[in-house]
């Protein structure tokens, strides 16, 4: 089946009437047709231009006309129209194939449309090439994220006689290369005297920023004799990538004072910089957020959904009150579907329930959701405990006629998987007539999330598209969740060797987790030492988790020290180190860590669990605090604990955090939030979604060893499947067994 998006962009030439244009061209020269084609193209009427061309006399067809149409197909990404035009040219004007000018436009068109294999075939068949030929293909590989091939092709270009790379060739290859290749290109730029080119320097700034070498990017920025808007944008984005929010804001303020106009890209980077994780003070951040918002309204950029969404997200992350948030929304004059969607987008992850509430209000206002609205609402559905909300939106998607849209099917795969239904994710995936890279990656990630690494590894060879960096993150995560160490090592080694993809921070974090959790901590540490970039907090967190599991105190101290430097407000390092000491009976040291944590003003994220009963979501904290039925739940829980003890349940008290009596340690464990949620579900099984055979619990942190053992035995005793979604993965408990095989 042909992809729906391809079907939509393929338009028959018969659907356009050129009767009003052809008489004017009768008896005229080729230049008349060329001028008319150019005029129509400049107005965005490419289909009419093609219709006019096909219905005109072949005697009027010139090389320049073909080149113009190929250029417009490339600009709009119209691959099907470009293919048809190319076939038409081969049939009616075969001598064009040897023309350098036209062939360069063909290579550019196929490259821009992502049809690199055919572009490269045309390139290889050229009897003569110039710098435009090389640059078009280099640019094509770069734009498709294939940096290794782009760099290799650029290197081959340097060996070509009389083919000196220009500014555009350098900017193209720099856009996709890594730091080491970029350094080599920088040296060549200086050697060839292109250091003064603002375009090349802007690309170098972006390259260094992406490689987390923002100091070098800043040095380059300051060396410029004049700054373009792109220069400022590149530097702001660089600081944002490096999580140096205040620096990004400082550059934007200076840019504004210099009278340099900003655009959509500027605002997206500035709003993205305004979050606490980027070192922004909340009060200052909120004030600045409002100021930039006012500039966005004044210039009209706030009407663009990406800008409005970025503002909403920044505002919510800085702790803006949702009531204020909604007040701002109501005061905005452009309350169309775009702005409603941006509001829902900002709430989709932090507060899915409010996002869904806004969606219902949108419908009550008489607005019609578009494709983007549905995709965002499905993202919010991924935050619910059960799949019933996703099922409801799925039915509305079908009713609206969007069921074949690849973007929405991808969103459904993600939503169903996050709600615990891998079967529904698989069903959507298998029914897709056209899959893009996101489809494959989403399904691979879904399998990994549910501990189905074998299924993920079986699916990977079936991909009919070139994998990207996200593909390998999904595969390595799947191996990590299932303890498949050798398979993970093989996949990691194949990234560059077989696919030309250079491992990034996420891939190294996965490998550290794979090796560390398997007890190969020395290898994990060695891998960190050999990383070509500085390890981030995710890498050190992975190592710390392994140290906690295997009691590696000394190495854990190193990881904790690094985490404190990178994320001083994060409680993870303190808590894990305290756990290591406690499990070894070193309660004095554990107490010291806790005091240090309190003295630093760091607060541990409380363990919370949620369960959906009827149409209401119930939240549980440890001990069932604040729940109106706490006493009844605790009584029922005590009874269940006694019954499970009779069939082998032994409380796991090694990680109790204080040097207290064993009886009190057990009491702490018995009132963990997921146990409270489970008992409440049993008390209300008639109101559970699906009749009560499956109990679904969502938790904000990782499930502990004791609760894991408890859930296994409870699943067999209660004769129910218990699905727990923690912060890291899904656990499917059934008949005294967990899907993770006790490896998590």
pLDDT digits (tens, 9 = 90+) for 109-166: 999 888 888 899 999 999 899 999 999 999 999 988 888 899 999 999 998 877 889 8
For residue 329, the model assigns a pLDDT of: 62
CB 236, CB 248: distance < 8 Å: yes
Handedness of CA 712, 716, 717, 718 (dihedral sign): positive
Burial of 300 (0-12, 13-18, 19+ CB in 10 A): exposed
For residue 13, the model assigns a pLDDT of: 33
Q: Could you give the CA distance from residue 240 to residue 275 in angstroms, rounded to a whole number?
A: 10
Handedness of CA 268, 271, 275, 281 (dihedral sign): positive
Cα first-last separation, the chain = 40
168: nearest Cα among 180, 149, 182, 154: 154
For residue 331, the model assigns a pLDDT of: 59
Kind plus residue range of the DSSP H or E element containing 249: helix 245-257
For residue 14, the model assigns a pLDDT of: 33
List the domains of the chain with CATH numbers. 458-600 (1.25.40.10), 608-738 (no CATH)
The dihedrals phi and psi of 732, each to the nearest 5 degrees, come to -100, 105
Q: Could you give the CA distance from residue 70 to residue 78 in angstroms, rounded to a whole number?
A: 9
Q: Is the pTM of this model over 0.75?
A: no
pLDDT, tens only, 300-333: 887 776 787 788 778 877 877 655 656 656 655 5
DSSP letters for 545-601: HHHHHHT-HHHHHHHHHHHHHH-TT--HHHHHHHHHHHHTT-HHHHHHHHHHHHHTT
Identify the segments of the chain with pLDDT beneath 50.
1-27, 657-665
CB 586, CB 551: distance < 8 Å: no
Query: Across-strand partners of 621?
Result: 608
CB 438, CB 432: distance < 8 Å: no
Burial of 741 (0-12, 13-18, 19+ CB in 10 A): exposed
Enumerate the H helices of 61-211 as residue ranges. Answer: 63-76, 79-92, 100-112, 116-125, 131-143, 147-158, 167-174, 179-191, 198-210
State how far Cα 39 lies from the chain centre: 40
Residue 220, CA atoms < 13 Å, CB-side half-sphere: 29
Q: Could you give the CA distance from residue 479 to residue 743 in angstroms, rounded to a whole number?
A: 11
CB atoms within 10 A of CB 703: 25
CB atoms within 10 A of CB 686: 9
Radius of gyration of the chain (CA): 29
Q: Could you give the CA distance from residue 670 to residue 666 in angstroms, rounded to a whole number?
A: 6
For residue 624, the model assigns a pLDDT of: 61
CA distances from 128 to 63, 104, 250, 563 (A): 17, 11, 50, 56
Q: Could you give the CA distance from residue 112 to residue 144 in angstroms, rounded to a whole number?
A: 9
Query: Across-strand partners of 638?
Result: none
For residue 622, the model assigns a pLDDT of: 76
For residue 328, the model assigns a pLDDT of: 57
CB 46, CB 78: distance < 8 Å: yes
DSSP for residue 406: H
Largest Cα–Cα distance of the chain, in whole Å?
A: 103
Q: Could you give the CA distance from residue 543 to residue 552 in angstroms, rounded to a whole number?
A: 10
CA distances from 134 to 188, 245, 265, 483 (A): 17, 38, 29, 45
Let me know how many helices (H) and strands (E) the chain has, helices first: 40, 6
CB 59, CB 28: distance < 8 Å: no
Q: Could you give the CA distance from residue 196 to residue 480 in angstroms, rounded to a whole number?
A: 47
SS3 717: helix
DSSP for residue 1: -
Q: Could you give the CA distance from residue 388 to residue 382 in angstroms, rounded to a whole number?
A: 11
Q: Could you give the CA distance from residue 114 to residue 357 in angstroms, rounded to a whole number?
A: 40
Structure tokens at 522: 């020395």
Structure tokens at 580: 């290591």
For residue 277, the model assigns a pLDDT of: 60
């Amino acid at each position: 089946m042909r992809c729906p998006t391809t079907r939509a962009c393929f338009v028959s030439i018969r659907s356009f009437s050129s009767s009003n244009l052809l008489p004017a061209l009768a008896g005229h020269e080729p230049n008349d047709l060329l001028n008319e084609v150019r005029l129509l193209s400049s107005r965005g009427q490419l289909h009419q231009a093609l219709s006019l061309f096909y219905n005109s006399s072949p005697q009027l067809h010139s090389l320049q006309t073909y080149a113009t149409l190929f250029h417009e197909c490339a600009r709009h990404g119209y691959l099907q129209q470009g293919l048809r035009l190319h076939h038409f040219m081969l049939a009616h004007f075969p001598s064009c194939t040897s023309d350098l000018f036209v062939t360069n436009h063909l290579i550019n068109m196929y490259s821009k449309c992502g049809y690199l294999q055919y572009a490269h075939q045309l390139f290889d068949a050229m009897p003569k090439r110039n710098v435009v030929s090389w640059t078009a293909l280099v640019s094509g590989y770069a734009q498709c994220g294939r940096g290794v091939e782009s760099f290799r092709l650029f290197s081959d270009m340097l060996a070509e006689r009389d083919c000196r790379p220009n500014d555009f060739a350098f900017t193209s290859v720099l856009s996709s290369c890594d730091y080491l290749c970029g350094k080599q290109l920088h040296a060549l730029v200086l050697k060839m005297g292109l250091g003064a080119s603002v375009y090349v320097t802007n690309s170098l700034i972006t390259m260094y920023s992406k490689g987390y070498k923002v100091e070098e990017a800043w040095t380059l920025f300051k060396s410029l004799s004049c700054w373009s808007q792109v220069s400022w944008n590149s530097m702001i984005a660089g600081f944002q990538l490096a999580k140096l929010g205040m620096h990004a804001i400082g550059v934007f303020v200076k840019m504004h004072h210099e009278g340099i106009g900003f655009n959509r890209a500027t605002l997206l980077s500035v709003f993205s910089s305004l979050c606490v994780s980027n070192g922004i003070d909340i009060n200052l951040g909120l004030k600045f957020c409002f100021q930039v918002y006012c500039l966005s309204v004044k210039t009209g950029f706030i009407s663009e959904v990406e800008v409005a969404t970025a503002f909403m997200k920044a505002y919510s992350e800085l702790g803006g009150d949702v009531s204020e948030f909604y007040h701002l929304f109501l005061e905005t004059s452009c309350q169309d579907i775009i702005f409603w969607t941006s509001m829902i987008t900002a709430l989709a992850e932090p507060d899915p329930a409010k996002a869904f509430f806004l969606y219902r209000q949108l419908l009550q206002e008489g607005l019609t959701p578009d494709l983007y609205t549905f995709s965002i609402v499905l993202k919010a559905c991924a935050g619910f405990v059960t799949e019933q909300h996703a099922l409801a939106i799925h039915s509305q998607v079908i009713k609206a006629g969007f069921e074949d849209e690849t973007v929405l099917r991808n969103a459904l795969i993600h939503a169903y998987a996050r709600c615990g239904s891998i079967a529904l994710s698989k069903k959507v995936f298998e029914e897709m007539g056209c899959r893009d890279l996101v489809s494959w990656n989403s399904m691979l990630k879904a399998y990994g999330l549910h501990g189905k690494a074998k299924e993920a590894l079986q699916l990977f060879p079936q991909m009919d598209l070139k994998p990207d960096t996200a593909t390998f993150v999904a595969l390595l995560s799947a191996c990590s969740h299932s303890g498949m160490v050798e398979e993970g090592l093989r996949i990691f080694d194949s990234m560059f060797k077989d696919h030309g993809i250079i491992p990034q921070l996420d891939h190294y974090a996965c490998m550290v987790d794979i090796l560390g959790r398997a007890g190969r901590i020395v290898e994990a540490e060695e891998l960190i030492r050999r990383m070509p970039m500085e390890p981030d907090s995710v890498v050190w967190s992975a190592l710390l988790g392994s140290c906690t599991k295997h009691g590696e105190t000394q190495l854990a101290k190193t990881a904790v020290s690094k985490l404190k430097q990178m994320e001083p407000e994060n409680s993870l390092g303190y808590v894990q180190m305290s756990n290591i000491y406690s499990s070894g009976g070193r309660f004095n040291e554990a107490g010291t860590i806790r005091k240090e944590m309190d003295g630093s003003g760091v607060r541990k994220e409380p363990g919370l669990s949620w369960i959906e009963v009827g149409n209401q979501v119930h939240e549980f904290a440890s001990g069932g605090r604040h729940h109106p039925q706490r006493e009844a739940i605790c009584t029922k829980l005590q009874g269940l604990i006694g019954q499970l003890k009779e069939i082998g349940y032994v409380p796991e008290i090694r990680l109790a955090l204080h040097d207290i009596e064993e009886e009190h340690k057990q009491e702490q464990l018995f009132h963990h939030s997921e146990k409270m949620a489970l008992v409440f579900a049993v008390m209300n099984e008639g109101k559970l979604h699906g009749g009560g055979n499956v109990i679904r619990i969502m938790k904000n942190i990782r499930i502990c060893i004791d609760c894991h053992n408890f859930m296994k035995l409870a699943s067999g005793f209660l004769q129910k499947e218990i699905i727990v979604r923690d912060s890291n993965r899904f656990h499917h408990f059934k008949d005294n067994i967990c899907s993770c095989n006790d490896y998590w």
